[in-house]
Amino acid sequence: MNAAFTTLRRAFALLLAGLWLALAGVAAQAQDYPPRPDGPVYDGANILSAGTKAQLDQQLRAYNAQTGRAIIVATVPSLGGESIESYATTLYTDKWGIGGAQRDTGLLLLIAPNERKMRIEVGYGLHGYFGGIMAGRVINDVIAPRFKEGNYDAGVTEGVGAILAHLAKSPEDAVAIEEAAKAAEQQRSRSDGGFPFGVLIWIAFMFFFFVLPLLAGRGRRRRYKASGAGPWG
């Protein structure tokens, strides 16, 4: 009797597990991901002007031809209830295959205006050039303020400019800036008041790596600092 009950219970557990997997599979298939665009700009949410899209397309195609790195800007009307982290990872890796399987030197700027969320997904091949702290700073300090003004064109254009400016740095400079930014963030979170010393470190790095080259007349685009990721407004 006990053996029969145990067998029945196991069979019921297996049935429930199979049903759960089937439902999970249906839910995954129900998520609607856009097809990979022909160019580096996909404006599914229709928030960018034709002029901005043309400018970004030309700029990012030229950058790809020069460096072999794929920088993609994508806006979507909805995340379909999925987290932006999961959506960005699936889009980058599984659906669009950005950056190439071997080198993985790609970057995706994903914007979901209805959920008021955005994320920068960076391929492993670019981690030495563009880390999480910098990705967050670009979002929080460059793009989000423009979005709060309702100016999507300026937010995306300046955000892409900040990304390309940072990617132009050597790995050594990029790592140094990332570490300085990380130290400033940690010091800021520990500080109860006053002016944190970590912020002074960050300002010093920004001066030497951004302001001085600009004053030296290198003719590069305006540089921006960067911080965390997430919603705006």
Q: Where are the domains of the chain?
A: 1-30, 41-231
Backbone angles phi, psi at 139, to 5 degrees: -65, -50
Q: Which CATH architecture has domain 41-231?
A: Roll (3.10)
Tens digit of pLDDT at every position of the chain (233 positions): 555 545 555 555 555 555 555 554 544 455 789 999 999 999 999 999 999 999 999 999 999 999 999 999 999 999 999 999 999 999 999 999 998 878 899 999 999 999 999 999 999 999 888 888 889 999 999 999 999 999 999 999 999 999 999 999 887 887 787 788 777 777 766 665 555 555 565 566 556 555 555 555 444 333 232 333 566 65
DSSP 120: E
Residue entry with tokens 């995340």: 79
Whole-angstrom Cα distance, residue 22 to residue 20? 5
Name the pairing type of β-strands 70-75 and 106-112.
parallel
Residue 59: both structure tokens together = 């700029």
| pTM for the predicted model, two decimal places | 0.71
The residue type of 97 is G
Going by C-alpha positions, the residue among 140, 167, 153 that lies closest to residue 41 is: 153
